[in-house]
Chains A and B, each alone.
Chain A
Amino acid sequence: MSKYGYEEAFSAEFYDPVTSKRLHDVKFWLDYAQKAGDRTLELACGTGRVLFPLAQAGITITGLDYSVYMLNICRQKLAQQPQDIQARVRIIQANMANFQTSEQYSLIIVPGRSFQILITPAEQESCLHSIAGHLKSHGTLIIDVFHPDFPRLYDPKYLQEFDRTSGVKLADGRTVDVASRIVAYHKDMQYNEVEEIYYVHHKDGRDERLVQSFPFHYFFRYEMEHLLRLCGFKVIDLFGNFDKSPFTNESREMIFVAEKA
């Protein structure tokens, strides 16, 4: 199996502080969960960035994630929620490429481009077969992947660090910046090796540089349509953004809404 991101304790620890403003997609997922009106499964739920707003809005949701560190934080946050919200949430540690829960779902979602950590078609197909096995017959599957920003598939300038954030202050007084860089392009297998670099500034003046590296598959539109079809799904909608705007040349996202064929 390939090496996943988010296996390091620090990337779980910094996830919430650095993504605290990342709410652009929550309403989209909530709309579909409300329409489904039944149990939702979220793959790669992480620390619950999407899971908690949905549970707070009344959705019964199961979150699955591979990282014990991410789930520890998710469970700590869950413990602070009111009883009725806790009752609606179930958390499972498992590999999204091959999972088995005891439930069937009306809606299965893979937010935040997590499907892209599955590098090989074999892993992707295995994940989709697991999903098909847990989706009710008229259920909906929604997967969000990025629409490749093409220069990032070849331009050597991305081998240098880019997109460095301005520091986020943590509760304990430390400050964290995050930057990204591409370590290697693998156009033959459609993935980039990526680094997320955390610069931590401690209260005592010490500086630390922590690197999370992981491979990330990039998908193209028809590749994804064919892959879904091969695994027994039919695409019913393709959006270019979370406002449900149509997919265009310049779209940042590819959001596939599918049902069993």
Chain B
Amino acid sequence: MSKYSSGYEDQQFVAELYDPVYDQLARRDIELFVDCSKKANDKTLELGCGTGRVLIPTAQAGYEITGLDLSPYMLEKCREKLAGQTKDVQSRVKLIQGNMTKFSLGELYTLITIPFRPFQHLITIEEQKACLKCVRQHLKPNGLFVMDVFHPYVPRLVDPKYLMEIEVDPKIDLPDGGVLRRTTRVAAFHREEQYNDIEIIHYVKYTDGREERLVHAFPMRYFYRYEMEHLLALCGFKIVEFFGDFDRSPFTADSPEMIFVAEKVA
């Protein structure tokens, strides 16, 4: 895919530990994306659907949704969770293993979403443009495209203190009775290409007393406001709304997120 490797699609523990972590952290983005599907009131395509954190609540709310993800492990988890859902919910969901920079599904969507920053795994502008080209090709003329990336916290792009491990989640209970602790660190700054090498470090303590340290290392691209606006314009999109958080508050200097709502330019 590119010179930048990511353990995302080939390391099983990433999928194994994803739900226990994010169920507990309860990210506040689900409501916004479900609401977008509600307004679209038609088929949604979600890129980077993972284990279905947003996809399953969308289907539960009554909307048809197709999820695309690169990782077979994540999709397997998603399928396991779907199996526990009602037939109705199952019938609204389609899952596809694929690459968000080159997919062709033979269908058009009224809404395409990229929730929780998968777009930041696209390091080069070629990959980003390829993804946006695919999005544009799959979007109906009056459809909407919604994606979020983080608003960079500038010290994390430069301050050497972030090279040390910082505890992010002190204690997460695992389904099998084990306990997980997570730290994160920046392994390297690449300001000239606008990405950090990130490590998320998992300390797992099993019920039998065994301990393990699992590192998910990957490059994470960061975007700035006007860069993103120009990129969307270059790829044939017009921004119709721009939020700084999932409560739809306006974007400010201290906003944690950059949430772009865009439509296709004819």
Task: Determine if A150 and B157 form an interchain contact, defined as CB atoms under 8 angstroms apart.
Answer: yes
Can you name the residue of chain B whose Cβ is closest to the Cβ of A240?
A: B192
**Chain B residue contacts of A229, Cβ below 8 A:** 230, 234
Are A221 and B194 in contact (CB-based, < 8 A)? Answer: yes
Verify if A223 is at the interface (C-beta below 8 Å from B). yes
Q: Tell me the complex Cα distance, A229–B225, Å.
A: 17
A226 touches B234 (CB 8 A): yes
B218 within 8 A of A: no
A145-161 near B? 1/0 per residue, CB < 8 Å: 00100110110000000
A225 interfacial contact with B, CB 8 Å: yes
Contact status of A226 and B192, CB under 8 A, knowing A121-B226, A154-B154: no
Q: Please pick, from B224, B244, B253, the residue contacting A223 in the complex, using a CB distance under 8 A.
A: B224
For B, the interface residue count at a CB cutoff of 8 angstroms equals 27
**Is A188 interfacial (CB-CB < 8 Å)?**
yes
- A73 interface residue per 8 A CB criterion: no
Q: In the complex the two chains form, what is the Cα distance from A187 to B233 in whole Å?
A: 21
Q: Are A230 and B233 in contact, CB atoms less than 8 angstroms apart?
A: yes
Q: What are the residues of chain B within 8 A of A121 when measuring CB–CB?
A: 226, 229-230
CB pair B234 A150 closer than 8 Å? no
Residue pair A150, B125 in contact (C-beta under 8 Å): no
CB contacts (< 8 Å) of B125 on chain A: these are 222, 225-226
Contacting residues of chain A (244-258) with chain B, CB-CB under 8 angstroms? 247-249, 251
Size range of the chain A interface in the assembly: 20 to 34
Please give, as numbers and ranges, the residues of chain A lying within 8 Å of B192 by CB-CB distance: 147, 221, 240, 247-249, 251
Shortest CB distance A98–B (Å): 20
Give which listed residue, A151, A188, A249, contacts B251 with CB less than 8 A.
A188
Q: Which residues of chain A come closer than 8 Å to B252, judged between CB atoms?
A: 188
B265 at interface by CB-CB < 8 Å: no
Name A188's contact: one of B193, B229, B233, B255 (CB within 8 Å). Answer: B255
Contact with A along B185-198 (1 / 0, CB 8 A): 00001111110000
- Contact between chains at A190 and B154 (CB < 8 Å): no
Chain B residues with CB under 8 A of A209: none
5 new A-B contacts at CB < 8 Å, known A150-B154, A229-B230: A150-B157, A187-B154, A187-B253, A226-B230, A230-B230
B contact set with A: CB distance below 8 Å: 125, 151, 154-155, 157-158, 189-194, 224-227, 229-231, 233-234, 244, 251-255
Closest 4 CB pairs of A and B: A226-B230, A223-B227, A150-B158, A187-B253
